[in-house]
């Protein structure tokens, strides 16, 4: 929705054809040689169409000199192997460090592994056994590139020293991600100068779409003003990603809590997290892979392989539910949305304060508003491997629906995170 081009990577497909390329027969049980160049062109186009990935124009390699046409200013190469001929230039290509995916047609693996034998020592070279694995590899590369490129708009009243914040204790957050702090005084002035009529109109729309319990129109109007102000600051930084460190520190300054504004920013495509920063990298990883809304919360309780996670800023689009607008932990004048998250398979990532992370698969089995001194949305997740609970490195998690566990581990490896 916003800055989609930043997520794209330049991928060049290369077909190693040699002098006698082979393609899978129509019955799928073997191979046949295709010497006609026009037929080779048609068949390679068909493979790319079947793969369905937006890529750079293809390169057909029939002789060594064809490698000279490769432009090294690419994020990755997919090399489709259709012959057993050795091309020395592929070793030079592997030496560049650019990610290389070796593949064949769907189901064709023999020639691919034959080529892999003499460049298997390069960490940047991976084999894809089928088209879905190619797509998976591309998703991983896109996610890593996006995380590295993304500017994170940080909402904080002050830059915190090392001993005050888990934010600075993760070496990946300390200098390796692009963070830019807001100007607090400009943000305050922007919030206070938002047109009241515009904010009230938006608040009425939100209230009409929701079930409202405690909050008044005035309360929701403050949230709408805050949403407009935060959105403006994020857009001014030319990004679509933000993080709020301890939103409670802004309550006195703004006269409201930030929960509903954060939820609505996520609904509108601005990935925005909140708390101590330990869930930021997990959010970036899971969103980069899935391009879905992310639930980001803290562990509440644990019992016999089931953890409960809670938070007060839940994107509505996770569940396509109707919001229930409540006060934040019964604090008068605040607005937070309860959103009943559906049951289903999920992936969770926890990275804590070190250079380690834990990736879990699980299933949401319940969701409730517990009331009292609790965040409004609490979900219970049954973990597939409950032994992993003893390896978590901090309280904060990010969660997405679907199984992205394998890709999340790969992204972590590429970012230099130790997986435990």
pLDDT at 7: 42
Distance CA 399, CA 349 (A): 7
pLDDT band with cut points at 50, 70 and 90 for residue 306: very high
Instruction: Give me the torsion for CA of 109, 21, 48, 70, rounded to 10°.
Output: 100
Convert the pLDDT of each residue in 153-180 to its tens digit.
999 987 665 455 555 555 545 666 888 9
pLDDT at 415: 86
Average pLDDT over residues 87-92: 94
Can you tell me the distance from the alpha carbon of 27 to that of 7, in angstroms, rounded to the nearest whole number? 38
Q: 19 with 34: CB under 8 angstroms?
A: no
pLDDT of residue 420: 63
Which CA distances in Å does 350 have to 99, 137, 162, 286, 297? 26, 22, 20, 11, 10
Domains of the chain plus CATH, in order, are 4-147 (3.40.50), 150-419 (3.20.14)
Between 131-149 and 280-290, two packed helices, what is the crossing angle to 10 degrees?
Answer: 140
Helix residue spans in 67-160 (DSSP H): 89-95, 110-116, 131-149
Rg (CA), the chain: 25
Please tell me the predicted confidence (pLDDT) of residue 168.
55
Residue 8 pLDDT class (50, 70, 90 cuts): confident
> 121-134, pLDDT tens digit by residue?
999 999 999 999 99
pLDDT in tens, 283-304: 999 999 999 999 999 999 999 9
Q: Taking 50 as the threshold, does the pLDDT of residue 1 lie above it?
A: no
- The string of pLDDT tens digits covering residues 327-361 is 999 899 999 999 999 999 999 999 876 678 999 99
Give me 64's structure tokens.
């060594």
In angstroms, the CA 59 to CA 16 distance is: 9
Band the pLDDT of 321: cuts 50, 70, 90: confident
Query: Which tops the pLDDT comparison, 375 or 400?
Result: 400
pLDDT at 144 over 90: yes
Q: pLDDT grade, residue 5 (50/70/90)?
A: very low
Conformation bin of residue 386: beta by default, left when phi > 0, alpha when psi is -120 to 50 = alpha
Residues 209-238: tens digit of each pLDDT? 999 999 999 999 999 999 999 999 999 999
Tell me what pLDDT residue 159 has.
60
Work out the pLDDT band at 248, boundaries 50, 70, 90: confident
* Interval 12-56: pLDDT, tens: 999 999 999 999 998 888 899 999 999 999 999 999 999 999 899
H helix runs in 168-254, sequence order: 184-192, 196-208, 217-236, 251-254
User: Residue 33 contacts by C-beta under 8 Å, 6 or more apart in sequence?
Assistant: 20, 21, 22
**What average pLDDT does the structure give for the chain?**
91
Please state, in angstroms and rounded to a whole number, the distance separating the CA atoms of residues 24 and 129: 15
Residue 50 is inside which H or E element, if any? helix 37-51
* Percent of residues, the chain, with pLDDT higher than 90: 76
**Cα separation, 218 vs 197, whole angstroms:** 11
């Amino acid at each position: 929705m916003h800055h989609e081009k930043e997520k794209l990577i330049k991928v060049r497909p290369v077909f190693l054809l040699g002098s006698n390329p082979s393609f899978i027969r129509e019955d799928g049980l073997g191979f046949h040689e295709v010497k006609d160049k026009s037929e080779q062109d048609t068949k390679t186009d068909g493979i790319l169409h079947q793969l369905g990935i937006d890529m750079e124009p293809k390169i057909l390699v029939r002789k060594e000199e064809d490698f000279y046409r490769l432009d090294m200013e690419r994020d990755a190469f997919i090399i489709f192997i259709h012959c057993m001929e050795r091309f020395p230039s592929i070793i030079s290509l592997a030496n560049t460090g650019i990610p290389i995916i070796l593949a064949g047609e769907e189901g064709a693996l023999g020639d691919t592994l034959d080529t892999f034998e003499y460049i298997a020592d390069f960490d940047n070279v991976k084999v894809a056994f089928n088209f879905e694995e190619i797509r998976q590899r591309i998703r991983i590369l896109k996610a890593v590139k996006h995380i590295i490129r993304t500017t994170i708009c940080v909402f904080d009243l002050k830059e915190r020293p090392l001993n005050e914040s888990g934010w600075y204790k993760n070496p990946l957050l300390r200098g390796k991600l692009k963070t830019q702090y807001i100007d607090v005084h400009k943000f305050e002035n922007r919030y206070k100068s938002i047109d009241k009529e515009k904010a009230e109109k938006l608040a009425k729309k939100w209230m009409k779409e929701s079930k409202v319990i405690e909050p008044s129109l005035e309360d929701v109007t403050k949230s709408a003003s805050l949403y407009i102000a935060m959105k403006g600051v994020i857009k001014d930084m030319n990004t679509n990603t933000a993080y709020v460190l301890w939103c409670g520190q802004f309550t006195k300054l703004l006269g409201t809590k930030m929960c509903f504004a954060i939820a609505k920013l996520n609904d509108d495509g601005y990935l925005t997290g909140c708390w101590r920063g330990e869930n930021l990298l997990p959010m970036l990883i899971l969103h980069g892979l899935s391009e879905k809304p992310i639930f980001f919360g803290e562990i509440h309780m644990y019992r016999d392989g089931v953890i409960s996670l809670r938070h007060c800023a839940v994107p509505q689009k996770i569940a396509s539910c109707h919001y229930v607008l409540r006060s934040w932990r019964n604090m008068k004048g605040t607005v937070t949305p309860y959103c009943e998250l559906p049951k289903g398979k999920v992936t969770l990532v926890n990275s804590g304060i070190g250079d380690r992370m834990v990736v879990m698969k699980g299933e949401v089995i319940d969701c409730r508003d517990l009331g009292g001194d609790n965040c409004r949305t609490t979900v219970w997740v049954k973990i597939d491997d409950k032994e992993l609970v003893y390896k978590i490195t901090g309280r904060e998690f990010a969660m997405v629906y679907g199984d992205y566990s394998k890709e999340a581990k790969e992204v972590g490896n590429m970012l230099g995170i130790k997986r435990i």
